[in-house]
A and B are shown apart, each in its own frame.
Chain A
Amino acid sequence: MFYLSRQTVSRHRSLYAGSFVALAVGVFLLGLAATATAATIAYKGPASSIISVMTLGGDGAEPRRMNVPMSGEDVSGLQVVLSMVGTISGFITIFVIASTFAFAVASRRRELGLLRLVGATPRRVRRMVLGEALVVAVAASLTGAVLAQLATPLLLRKASYSELAPVKLEPAAPWIPLAIAVAAGLLVAMLGARSAARRAGRVGPIDALRESALEGSRIGPVRIIFGLLFMAGAITMLTLIRPATGDGAVPLAMFAPMVMVIGLTLLAPLIVPLVGRLWALPLVAWTRVSGRLARSNVVAAPRRTASLAAPILAISAIAGSIVLSLSIAADTAGAQIRDAVKAPIVVTGGADVSRFPGVETVDAGLPLQLVRIDRDDAQLEDAEGIDPVMATRTRDLVALSGDLRGLTGNTVAVSKEMSGFENYRVGDEVPVTFLDRTSVKLRVVAIVKDAFGVNPSLLLPLDLVRAHAPKAVPDRQFVVPAANVDPAPLVTRLPNAQLATRWEADQADGVRKGNQLGLILLLGPAGFYSAIAIANTLLMGSLQRRREFVTSRLLGATPAQIRRMVLWESSLVGAVALSLGTAITITVGVLIRHAMTAGLIDVPLTVPWGVLLGIAGLCLILAIGSALAPTAYILRRSEPSAAVD
């Protein structure tokens, strides 16, 4: 039976070339993420900058020794990004592969029906489709792995000494990561092919006799229920997980749209005709025949349309959600910083400004890093040494429980967020190791209100910080002028001083800029892949329609009419996909904003219109271009008489 698979793969070259490209590029990205991760794992920082601590143990966790890198010179930032890139690439790959295989099966209904007619059992047809998927998957996965191996040194050169990995990365042994990527590729292909194969097995022998190769659009109640469950799950996820910072929002803005995309895809045969009809209203009104034809092609074959729309839907929903959520996170961060600073003046750097005339309070907190140890982990944390008297005057520093006046000696005030994660209460002891390698236990004296971007999670007494980090200097100081002194002229006299409003705006801009790098890294590969997938599916779709185009020519359609029909049709597919993607983006955006801005008032809303419209425009151009190009090619190459054979 394998020989049949081989034969059909070579026959349906355009269908399988599509799946091949989609999978090879997916495995390439996965492989690249894997080899780069291997390089980060293989990276060992200089031994002198490592602090070795024992975790506490308890509650089933054994105490263990952990080596925590002392400086920021580690590769964890890159590892996080790589794992996200891997997740997004993996998701889009499985999604695209599933839809290309579904598309291939839908285009071959008659042929599969014929096989059934001459005696193939449903099981056999299923196995044949899986066999074909395997032929393609093996070839594509190996190709992708080889390409990944070739591109790894390039990527590592780019990643070395970057913000995410301020070290030199060398390629590690490629075998294990590439084996993982190839295995993932095969697994993804087989998972994607499974539902297509199952549908192929349901093709009846009678389908060989039907003239139209259209598949019914009816879907079972199970599928509808699952689709609704996925949608509900994503919305529950968004309402229950309430991220407070951008770092928390990104994974949510990544997973929630993924789940919704799956949900919408399950419901697609119901939703696509509705949305398609809606978008077709102006088309039908404006054009004479091509718009009408385009509408019927899109609406009458919802599964086919859904397959073509799938990659556009996936990337527009995910990219849109992440872009919008990060912008919302930056807006929120701005508002949080605004609300957390009471002082009207901020001085950058450590210059002593307390003696300037007109200055009343100077809150010169000292930043430091320390290793915080808990039951099963030890982490490098940012902390700040503060004078609680000064700090409560210049910042919105409020003890939710406990008393900040007790912040002397070996004590600590913990932010509400960290106390929530780690279950710290007033009176608890937090074991820490300073970078001078002294270990102490800090007693929690207060739980304070979160002030992201202004206060780190751990606030220590100023004297304790001076003792363990003698060289620490403030990186910003909050300054309150004396009673009737106008801050505006005072700013001009102080060194490196800014009005707090200006400083706050700069901080928010900094967050936004910092997000940009992450966005490019996260969405760059996924966008590249989706672009290929979009072009790929549309190309496949048009190449399959040679006969139809030729028949239309025979019926008297001019090449221009057919081109217009394809233009409207691909625009419709794009519009349907983008409307669903937009719906997901808006849902994610609204819910994430709602969660993030809880307790804040007057949070500005910056919608990155340029980027969002850019994503939509690019998707649309790709979709239309890759549908039109093969159509023009087919029309140039064939005469109407070709319809007869």
Chain B
Amino acid sequence: MTATAPSYPTVAPIEPPALLLDGITKTYRSKAGAVDALRGVTYQFARGSFTAVMGPSGSGKSTLLQCAAGLDQPTNGTVVLNGAPLGGLSEVELTKLRRAEMGFVFQAYNLLPSLTVYDNVALPLRLTGRRPSRSDVHRVLEQVGLEGKAKRRPAELSGGQQQRVAIARALITKPSVFFADEPTGALDSGTSRQILGLLREATDRAGQTVVMVTHDPVAAAYAERVLFLSDGLLAGHLDRATPAQIAASMSDLER
């Protein structure tokens, strides 16, 4: 394991990027008319990078995340994960790809309330048909600082602990890409730091790629690069920025 600085430039020279968005548009049609949530986004997320996506409300950042994760179909354009395009995959193929390659952490912790912490974390492995090894589950629990809480149920944990269970659940399958949507949205600043630290660790230690949507400049500052999204288009980026710089750019966008 190398503890060197994050790799630059963003485009890795030989191997394909972890995630490639090529000309993504997304139009929602409803009775009230069509709404263009994304109007052509092209970007490459390099392997092992930690990218924050920011933008005002309605800028399309959640839609971007959902299209990138194959949760939603883009209207136009292609999403390529580790060199393999997602378009044309069946729901089952997408599911299998998702559980092998992607991890999810959302604002609502999204744990199954009926399962214990242990079972929640082991669930993705069970779903792939593998029998989870006890030591694997306990190792990721330890990694997120929840040793000794394996038998609890989500309702008995604090918000920060629940979010760490969600991260442990995402870690256990060793996904190549983490998708995080406002992972610290409901947490206090101390707990937020721990959660962001865990995501940061995933990129630094295991070379996993993190794509995080947030509106919080402090959280975004944990990322190497902050992408700004406005009206469904990329509106610029900041590298290794401080929360103050990020906040300034945000208020420029919102003006």
Whether the Cβ atoms of A116 and B181 lie closer than 8 Å is no
Q: How far is the CA of A551 from the CA of B164 in the complex (A)?
A: 26
Whether the Cβ atoms of A111 and B112 lie closer than 8 Å is yes
| B126 neighbours in A (Cβ, 8 Å) | 1, 4
Closest CB in chain B relative to A254 CB, distance in Å: 41
Fill in one digit per residue for B91-118: 1 if any A CB lies within 8 Å of its CB, else 0: 1100110111000101010101111000
Fill in one digit per residue for A570-589: 1 if any B CB lies within 8 Å of its CB, else 0: 00000000000000000000
Nearest A residue to B110 via CB reads A114
| B66 neighbours in A (Cβ, 8 Å) | 206, 209
Whether the Cβ atoms of B124 and A119 lie closer than 8 Å is yes
Q: Does A117 contact B (CB under 8 A)?
A: yes
Fill in one digit per residue for A93-129: 1 if any B CB lies within 8 Å of its CB, else 0: 0000000000000000001001111111111100000
| A10 neighbours in B (Cβ, 8 Å) | 114
Nearest B residue to A12 via CB reads B114
Q: Does A445 contact B (CB under 8 A)?
A: no
| B128 neighbours in A (Cβ, 8 Å) | 119
Whether the Cβ atoms of B114 and A117 lie closer than 8 Å is no
Q: Does A7 contact B (CB under 8 A)?
A: yes
Nearest B residue to A645 via CB reads B155
Q: Does A204 contact B (CB under 8 A)?
A: yes
| A119 neighbours in B (Cβ, 8 Å) | 95-96, 98-100, 124, 127-128, 173
Nearest A residue to B91 via CB reads A122
What count of chain A residues pass the 8 Å CB interface test? Answer: 25
Chain A contact surface mostly: helix
- Indicate whether A209 sits within 8 Å of B92 (C-beta atoms), given known contacts A10-B114, A11-B113, A119-B98: no
- Selected from A117, A122, A124, A645, the residue in CB contact (under 8 A) with B104 is A117
- Indicate whether A122 sits within 8 Å of B123 (C-beta atoms), given known contacts A208-B110, A209-B106: no
Interface size range of chain B in the complex: 20 to 34
| A11 neighbours in B (Cβ, 8 Å) | 113-114
Q: Does B71 contact A (CB under 8 A)?
A: yes
Q: Does A192 contact B (CB under 8 A)?
A: no
| B26 neighbours in A (Cβ, 8 Å) | none
- Indicate whether A7 sits within 8 Å of B95 (C-beta atoms), given known contacts A120-B127, A209-B106: no
- Selected from A118, A204, A645, the residue in CB contact (under 8 A) with B123 is A118
- Selected from A1, A120, A206, the residue in CB contact (under 8 A) with B72 is A206
Within 8 A of A (CB), among B216-238: none
Whether the Cβ atoms of A120 and B115 lie closer than 8 Å is no
Whether the Cβ atoms of B71 and A204 lie closer than 8 Å is yes
- Selected from A115, A116, A124, the residue in CB contact (under 8 A) with B112 is A115
| A123 neighbours in B (Cβ, 8 Å) | 92
Q: Does A205 contact B (CB under 8 A)?
A: yes
- Selected from A4, A7, A118, A121, the residue in CB contact (under 8 A) with B96 is A121
| A8 neighbours in B (Cβ, 8 Å) | 112, 114
Nearest A residue to B114 via CB reads A11
| B61 neighbours in A (Cβ, 8 Å) | none
| Top 7 A-B pairs, shortest CB-CB distance | A119-B99, A11-B114, A119-B127, A206-B71, A121-B95, A7-B114, A118-B124
Interchain residue pairs with CB less than 8 A apart (20): A4-B126, A7-B114, A10-B114, A11-B113, A12-B114, A111-B112, A111-B113, A116-B95, A117-B71, A117-B104, A118-B104, A118-B124, A119-B95, A119-B173, A121-B91, A123-B92, A124-B127, A205-B71, A206-B66, A209-B106
Query: A-side interface residues toward B, CB under 8 Å?
Result: 1, 4, 7-8, 10-12, 111, 114-124, 204-206, 208-209, 645
